[in-house]
Amino acid sequence: MMMNKKRPPVVFLPCVRVSVVVFLVLVCFKPSLGDQKLRFGRDGEFKILQVADMHYADGKTTPCEDVLPTQVAGCSDLNTTAFVNRMILAEKPDLIVFTGDNIFGFDATDAAKSLNAAFAPAIASNIPWVAVLGNHDQESTLSREGVMKHIVTLKNTLSQVNPPEAHIIDGFGNYNLEIGGVEGSSFKNKSVLNLYFLDSGDYSTVPAIGGYGWIKPSQQLWFERTSAKLRREYMSKPAAQKAPAPGLAYFHIPLPEFASFDSSNFTGVKQEGISSASVNSGFFTTMVAAGDVKAVFTGHDHVNDFCGQLTGIQLCYAGGFGYHAYGKAGWERRARVVVASLEKLEKGGWGAVKSIKTWKRLDDAHLTAVDGQVLWSKSSSGRFLLYDICHSLAQRFLSCPRN
């Protein structure tokens, strides 16, 4: 309808108000987190909770494995759910990452229902979350593609089936996330922390090669291109940086290089072998060459929970999380937390990522935090490391020397 020019302007005010309200509704209540950029908060930290191997099946009727005889009664998938809820409450992460074997397909009657139940605490928390696939996710009523396509429809997830820019890529659930600098800082428009998520497959499909799957050349090419693009952006104006922003990679099956350590050079425990693929597809070398990834986080081997550093990259397990998964009776289910902290600038603002720390929490009465360590820091002085561990980590498990 044409507006009547003779009307006094005051008559138009309600219309203006209505359109402002409509605009605000559109802006404030977006149906998904899809285009909402993740960024560091005003505390200069970004925290990631890793949940590995939930092995969720049918819920209340699915029993726990490898718990003490006294813990068998009344133990089910619901204990896994309770643990996710406790971790979210305790850590209030900025992102939750599920690194595969989210469901244990063999025992899940309906894959979609099982996935919905497994991710329910993350969905309800309103915290952005993502998932990649393990080797058991497709063993129920959905294929790997079907599982990933279902996951991306769930609320609050930033997971993607595959990157739109890669025309051909193996697997389902390869994507990356850029974590922006603090709003109002000179890093506002930069991705200061890069997260890569990859599908490490399930089992070899090459008849002459047995065992688990591996990260294929097509996925490595996508990683290389993405890493190079992010590096270019980060190292160009405005606020051009001298080195690429640190990256973290999450997937399910450990790389063969996880076997490079013993207790003299890792933090955590190794209580079983490294169940990587029987061939080395070279992804570790690809990451070393790209130069940005500082740490890799996997699951798959439930009773290994260590981090060890090789050629500048920390290789970390989360340790098993789910109760319907093999484990070790009396050895608590656990989860890994990673916090990236920004450099505080002299002027008072926030700069680039200064350090990346990690610890784990056990599903005991106190959610005991263990194995706090600095995974990477911009400064390499030992004094910084000691100071940092003691004054920034969950202090309950370390008694700090006075400095």
Ligand X SMILES: *[C@@H]1O[C@H](CO)[C@@H](O)[C@H](O)[C@H]1NC(C)=O
Residues near ligand X (CB under 6 A):
67, 71, 74-75, 79, 186, 188-189, 238, 260-262, 264-265, 310
Cβ-Cβ contacts under 8 Å for 78 (sequence gap 6 or more): 59, 60
Kindly state the smallest distance separating residue 72's Cβ from ligand X, in Å. Answer: 8
- Nearer to ligand X (CB atom), residue 31 or residue 74: 74
User: Can you tell me the distance from the alpha carbon of 206 to that of 228, in angstroms, rounded to the nearest whole number?
Assistant: 31
- Nearer to ligand X (CB atom), residue 76 or residue 159: 76
Residue 79's SS3 state is helix
Residue-wise DSSP of 47-59: EEEEE----B-SG
- Nearer to ligand X (CB atom), residue 164 or residue 238: 238
Joined together, the tokens standing for residue 234 give 């980060």
- Nearer to ligand X (CB atom), residue 110 or residue 364: 364
CB 199 within 8 A of CB 133: yes
Kindly state the smallest distance separating residue 235's Cβ from ligand X, in Å. Answer: 15
Integer-rounded Cα Rg, in Å, for the chain is: 23
Residue (of 152, 107, 119, 146) closest to 51 by Cα position: 119
Kindly state the smallest distance separating residue 174's Cβ from ligand X, in Å. Answer: 27
Kindly state the smallest distance separating residue 234's Cβ from ligand X, in Å. Answer: 13
Residue (of 198, 190, 80, 183) closest to 130 by Cα position: 198
- Nearer to ligand X (CB atom), residue 123 or residue 310: 310
Q: 38-39 and 369-377 as β-strands: parallel, antiparallel, unpaired?
A: unpaired
- Nearer to ligand X (CB atom), residue 147 or residue 182: 182
Kindly state the smallest distance separating residue 285's Cβ from ligand X, in Å. Answer: 15
Residue indicated by tokens 């609050």: 156
Kindly state the smallest distance separating residue 403's Cβ from ligand X, in Å. Answer: 29
User: Can you tell me the distance from the alpha carbon of 155 to that of 259, in angstroms, rounded to the nearest whole number?
Assistant: 37
